[in-house]
Amino acid sequence: MVQKALRIDGLRVNVEDKQILKGIDLTVEPRSVHALMGPNGSGKSTLAFAIAGHPRYTVTAGTVTLDGEDLLALAPDKRAKAGLFLSFQYPAAIPGVSVANFLRTARQAVRPEDLPPAKFRQLIFERLDVLDMDVALMSRSVNDGFSGGEKKRLEMLQLAVLAPKYAVLDETDSGLDIDALRAVGDSVASLRKSDEGRETGLLVITHYPRILQYIAADHVHVMVDGRIVKSGGPELAHEIEREGYENLREEVAGGVG
pLDDT per position as a tens digit, 90-115: 888 999 999 999 999 998 888 877 77
pLDDT per position as a tens digit, 192-211: 777 777 789 999 999 888 88
Q: How far apart are CA 86 and CA 103, in angstroms?
A: 15
Highest mean pLDDT among 23-32, 102-111, 165-174: 23-32
For 6-253, which CATH superfamily applies? P-loop containing nucleotide triphosphate hydrolases (3.40.50.300)
Residues near 130 by beta carbon (within 8 Å), at least 6 away in sequence? 160, 183, 186, 187, 190
Residue-level pLDDT at 78: 95
- Prediction pTM value: 0.89
Q: How far apart are CA 248 and CA 25, in angstroms?
A: 18
In angstroms, the Cα distances linking 197 to 1, 30, 139, 207, 240 are 23, 10, 26, 25, 30
Residue-level pLDDT at 257: 45
Q: For the chain, give every domain's residue range.
A: 6-253
In 3D space, the residue among 122, 128, 129, 130 whose CA is nearest the CA of residue 140 turns out to be: 128
pLDDT per position as a tens digit, 129-141: 877 788 999 999 9
